[in-house]
A and B are shown apart, each in its own frame.
Chain A
Amino acid sequence: CTSRFWFNYRHVANTLSVYRSVKRLGIPDSHIVLMLADDMACNPRNPKPATVFSHKNMELNVYGDDVEVDYRSYEVTVENFLRVLTGRIPPSTPRSKRLLSDDRSNILIYMTGHGGNGFLKFQDSEEITNVELADAFEQMWQKRRYNELLFIIDTCQGASMYERFYSPNIMALASSQVGEDSLSHQPDLGIGVHLMDRYTFYVLEFLEEIHPASQTNMNDLFQVCPKSLCVSTPGHRTDLFRRDPRNVLITDFFGSVRKVEITAEALALHRGVAALESKFPEEELATEPLKYAEQLPVAQIIHQKPKQKDWHPPGGFILGLWALIIMVFFKTYGIKHMKHIF
């Protein structure tokens, strides 16, 4: 989500809905980079704090207890987004903010906000162009950072954003064609803003029916939100994709589905291990087994209470102070009192 301000509530709700579906289908937070440009749940204008709703009548709160936002507020910039994609990140960036993908990863990128012909607006002050995005994807391809990439964009004139892609294995969906505006779905009178955009609303409805074992393919996703419901014409682009979209499962991108084969037979392992063992007894290793050098005896330290070093004022100080006090006393009251004290 790239928009700030309260009236762009729907963009945050869009992103959080997709986040929710993706998590529900099995992708963990460590594999999700969530960027939200503004905080709607704790916005002072939110009449229902700590919630972000995506349905009228507040049926669905997409801001639950387990939403992990990786890039928030002013960290959502074009530079950070491109750095995440290409991996050119300063070494001090934590793991949760990195896209740790390799050449077997399928990546889903969902972007929403305000856009135009060839650009997407970030934070009301800068833009990312379709050329930049295409180049970023090409860098990802060259660095083998993805196997297949699904790019969904829900903004006005969204199709312009995928026009310039030239890297292989990218499939793209957009909510509207060039020259059309994507419209929002429903305003909520209780909260006072539009809760979602139409395209994402219907995508969410579609995704709610997907479960980890479903065999629905991409062609069904392309049919979501026809012009009669969406007012804008959603578009898609599959020419760069090597596989036929009919064979691509939704869960390939939206869910984390692993192929598990259950086998009933036992595998014999000892043959290899026995071979290894027979080699070694000849070489009597006389040296001690290598241990990690204990440079810092951590176990000792954490179980040890800090030594109470009692500070005492130095003897010279005490002597000096009391000598002075006695001198003052005798100077004022005369030396004749000495014989009464001693």
Chain B
Amino acid sequence: MAAPLVLVVLAAVTVRAALYRSSLAVFIAERVEVASPLNAWKRVVEGLALLDLGVSPYSGAIFHETPLIIYLFHFLIEYAELVFMITDVLTAVALYLAIQDFNKVVFKKQKLLIELDKYAPDVAELIQTPMEMHYIPLKVALFYLLNPYTVMSCVAKSTCTINNSVIAFFILATIKGSAFLSAVFLALATYQSLYPLTLFAPALLYLLQRQFIPIKLKSRSFWLYTMQYASLYLCSLVVIICLSFFLLNSWDFIPSVYGFILSVPDLTPNIGLFWYFFAEMFEHFSLFFVCVFQINVFFYTIPLAIKLKEHPVFFMFVQLAIISIFKSYPTVGDVALYMAFLPVWSHLYRFLRNIFILSCVLIFCSFLFPVLWHLWIFAGSANSNFYYAITLTFNIGQILLISDYFYAFLRREYYLTHGLHLTRQDGTEAMLVLK
């Protein structure tokens, strides 16, 4: 499988290099859908320039990157394009290896359950075979590398690419089973943008499953392992934050990075839901609504953990999607990350109900974003409501996509254990409904 992967990587690198040299690079770098105040390249350059002039980059409201990014780009700023391309390639390779391992795990588990007779007799067509699973890692890498969202994000040199790569390495480490590395990468991802904190739960569930520790609240080994993992994670987070203190000898970066993510002061339009609400809200209520919106991101972790505790990797996928929909400054780079996982669940295709409409909605909205932006800002014949409508539609499309996959996944699990042809008590055919 190495050769096709190399081919895909080469194609992706060519596309990115071609776009870097074309005139579209400047246009893409300025698009608000691709570059948010948190991860725009312009701001990184500005912060480094301020540093060269002897001023702390966090003194204004421009720079919201972490000190490790300052350190990284201080030495690599001339090779920025190369850095971003290599990052994208590394992400794709990490995803490839992760999904390869994950496939083996899935297959082993399936075999175990078949031997334990946990499956109903007539579900032969639902079982995943190695043949169809053989190309999934390659498809994942392909989906990630050649996704227009990823390409745009890379050409715009948005640090979302780096965030994606850290999350991809975290997923790789988790699936390989190394608790220490996964804690370290999760700490790095949380350190950069706060929201991967919610990925702690699926990672923990996966590692517990791997160690064959049952997830019971009274079990001692469960709590022991949880404490170990949590302490690894928290310690690495604390160490990284303390290390960042020593870069500039100040704690300025904490309000600039985490305060900024949590309190959402910058209301530049983006593809998220925060800006419009807070632009029209009275000051008096803004604290309340900021809390509500931020809780909304973290809120789905516990119910999903309860429902999906047997399937932590699907949980991770859903959680990634929720982060990229509800985070305070989403960009299309975040969307690209969870979309890369869609081939892993291609076996759910027969249960997806609205996939055609949803893909149409997502594609149309992606095309309408620049159109309505132009109409609003340049032509002046539209206003912010138009752009917000497309934002809303895009997010609704994403949410429905995730809930569709969720429904399809649960339905398949149900069929696996209860048989394909469900009958009600009186013998007529039954339908599964997600309540």
Contact = CB atoms under 8 A, between A and B. Distances in A.
Interface of A: 306, 308-311, 313-314, 316-318, 320-321, 324, 328, 331-332
A195 B286 CA distance: 51
A309 B54 CA distance: 7
Nearest to B68: A321
B172 to A, nearest CB: 12
Interface residues of B, number: 17
B181 A324 contact: no
Given A310-B52, A317-B247, 17 more contacts: A306-B53, A311-B74, A313-B70, A313-B74, A313-B247, A314-B247, A316-B246, A317-B243, A317-B246, A318-B71, A321-B243, A324-B239, A324-B243, A328-B180, A331-B180, A332-B180, A332-B181
Contact of A311 (B52, B68, B249): B52
Nearest to A316: B246
Interface string B115-136: 0000000000000000000000
28 contacts: A308-B52, A309-B52, A309-B53, A310-B52, A311-B52, A313-B70, A313-B71, A313-B74, A313-B247, A314-B246, A314-B247, A314-B249, A316-B246, A317-B71, A317-B246, A317-B247, A318-B71, A320-B243, A320-B246, A321-B68, A321-B243, A324-B243, A328-B180, A328-B181, A328-B184, A332-B178, A332-B180, A332-B181
B234 interface: no
Contacts of B51: 311
Contacts of A306: 53
Nearest to B50: A311
A321 B246 CA distance: 10
Interface in B90-143: none
Interface in B288-345: none
Contacts of A318: 71
Contacts of B74: 311, 313
B376 to A, nearest CB: 20
A338 to B, nearest CB: 18
Contacts of A311: 51-52, 54, 74
A179 B249 CA distance: 79
A314 to B, nearest CB: 6
B232 to A, nearest CB: 10
Interface string B30-53: 000000000000000000000111
For A314, A317, A324, A332, the residue with the greatest tally of chain B CB atoms inside 10 Å of its CB is: A317
B237 to A, nearest CB: 12
A321 to B, nearest CB: 6
Contacts of B181: 328, 332
Interface of B: 51-54, 68, 70-71, 74, 178, 180-181, 184, 239, 243, 246-247, 249
Contacts of B239: 324
Nearest to A328: B184
B235 to A, nearest CB: 11
Contacts of A324: 239, 243
Contacts of B184: 328
Nearest to B55: A311
A309 B181 CA distance: 38
Nearest to A323: B243
Contacts of A321: 68, 71, 243
A313 B76 CA distance: 13
Nearest to B184: A328
B253 to A, nearest CB: 13
Contacts of B180: 328, 331-332
B53 to A, nearest CB: 8
Contacts of B53: 306, 309
A299 to B, nearest CB: 23
Nearest to B173: A332
A328 B68 CA distance: 17
Contacts of A308: 52
A288 B156 CA distance: 64
Contacts of A331: 180
Lowest 8 CB-CB distances: which A-B pairs, in order? Answer: A317-B246, A311-B51, A317-B247, A320-B243, A332-B181, A316-B246, A313-B71, A309-B54
A27 B71 CA distance: 63
A141 to B, nearest CB: 52
A321 B72 CA distance: 11
A317 B68 CA distance: 10
A331 B182 CA distance: 12
A308 B54 CA distance: 9
B433 to A, nearest CB: 46
A308 B70 CA distance: 18
A331 B52 CA distance: 36
Contacts of A310: 52
A311 B249 CA distance: 13
Nearest to B57: A311
A282 to B, nearest CB: 57
Nearest to B185: A328
A107 to B, nearest CB: 45
Contacts of B68: 321
A309 B50 CA distance: 11
A325 to B, nearest CB: 10
A166 B114 CA distance: 112
A319 to B, nearest CB: 9
Nearest to B74: A313
Nearest to B75: A313
Nearest to B239: A324
A6 B145 CA distance: 59
B242 to A, nearest CB: 9
A281 B271 CA distance: 84
